A and B are shown apart, each in its own frame.
Chain A
Amino acid sequence: LQNLSFFVNIEEMTRQNSIGNLDLVTMLALIRLDDEAYGVSISREIKQLVGYEVALGTIYAVLERLERNGMASSKLGESTPERGGRAKRYFRITAKGLREVNRLRRAFIKLWQGVPELAGRKA
């Protein structure tokens, strides 16, 4: 029952803010990359963070959703020959996004503290 309430809390938390797991991972990648966050670098950072590759189209869908919700902003950068002359689109996390990440971090820590298995003790 305790485990069930854990998932209910997470679901409630993510629903209120429209943030899924990938959204959170992407926002963390934006924070880590700072000024160098564009599609390719975000994709590589996510692979490093979670261990599997996410399609670039999926990452853009998340970034555009975050931008719509005011949690990220973007600006066009330089174009290079290996990109077929297309400009890079750099993303940054906004103050609102940063607040959401912090709020989620605090909530997760609080939830994990209530799970004995994760503290190395027997239930």
Chain B
Amino acid sequence: VTHRHPPRAAAWLLDCFVGRNQALIGDIAEEYRTGRTQLWFWRQTVMAALRSTFAEIQSHWILALRAAIFGGVFLFCFNYCIVRPFGQFYTDVMWNVDPILVSGGWSFRTLLFITFLPDVPVLCLGFAVGSWIVARLHRPYKAAFTLMNAAVVLVVGTVQIVVGVVRLYIYVGNYQKRHYDPDPHHFWFYVIVCFWVFELSLFVASTLAGGLWNRPSAAVDSV
């Protein structure tokens, strides 16, 4: 571990979120070179990013609200205009290719080819494009609004997962009663919940990637 070079990812994030406050980046760099650990650098980066985001949302809350609403409306339209028709088209194609895969029970193949493949990559694209447009429309605050939108995606997604888990739990319980399955912890229950969590992390990552895309990286090396 060398103290000359801070973690590149953290330095890049610092530049993204507090690029306008060069004195703060200089202070973090100066203190880091006195022998601080990489963990310290990460902590400073996260705190500075969060503080900067809160401050910008607080002082430009109308723009922040507009950015959040635009992101939501874009995703709603994207879902109805692209994801759903594409999903339907994909299912039709798969029905012709392998009807058992589409109509069959739970399996990893069904999960991958029917649940994951049509929707998730296209939705990731939607999250990334929506976030990119929001960032382009709010250039001075793009990092802060991107983080805000990612937080909104995380919160809404978490609520959906919790609701989904409750519904799935009831469904699995009824399924077990109908099929006299003695196993109270159905294997697929956990697989699907893990899949949802994975899916949500992809959506959050796509939102961040789309919004923070094409940030200037010249300053990273000099941190």
Binding site for B on A (CB under 8 A): 38-40, 43, 55-58, 60-61, 64, 76, 79-80, 82-89
| Complex alpha-carbon distance, A82 and B35, angstroms | 12
| Complex alpha-carbon distance, A93 and B44, angstroms | 25
Nearest-neighbour CB distance to chain B for A40, whole angstroms, equals 5
Given contacts A39-B23, A56-B44, A79-B26, contact A61 B51 (CB under 8 A): yes
List residues of chain B with CB within 8 A of the CB of A88: 23, 26-27
Binding site for A on B (CB under 8 A): 18, 21-31, 33, 43-44, 47-52, 55, 219, 222-223
Q: Are B51 and A89 in contact (CB under 8 A)?
A: no
Q: Is the interface of B mostly helix, strand, loop or mixed?
A: helix
Q: Which residue of A lies closest to B52 (CB)?
A: A57
Nearest-neighbour CB distance to chain A for B142, whole angstroms, equals 18
Q: Choose among A38, A43, A55, A61 the residue that contacts B23 (Cβ–Cβ < 8 A).
A: A38
Q: Are A55 and B55 in contact (CB under 8 A)?
A: no
Q: Are A87 and B29 in contact (CB under 8 A)?
A: no
Given contacts A57-B44, A60-B48, A88-B23, 19 further A-B contacts (CB under 8 A): A40-B31, A43-B31, A55-B51, A56-B31, A57-B24, A58-B47, A58-B51, A61-B55, A82-B29, A83-B27, A83-B29, A84-B25, A84-B26, A85-B222, A86-B25, A86-B26, A86-B29, A87-B26, A88-B26
Given contacts A56-B24, A76-B23, A89-B23, contact A83 B47 (CB under 8 A): no
| Complex alpha-carbon distance, A96 and B52, angstroms | 26
Q: Are A60 and B51 in contact (CB under 8 A)?
A: yes
| Complex alpha-carbon distance, A58 and B49, angstroms | 10
Most central of A38, A58, A60, A87 by chain B CB within 10 Å: A60
Q: Choose among A57, A82, A84 the residue that contacts B50 (Cβ–Cβ < 8 A).
A: A57
| Complex alpha-carbon distance, A38 and B43, angstroms | 20
**Cross-chain pairs A/B with CB under 8 angstroms, 5 sampled:** A39-B26, A57-B52, A79-B26, A86-B22, A86-B29
Q: Are B26 and A60 in contact (CB under 8 A)?
A: no
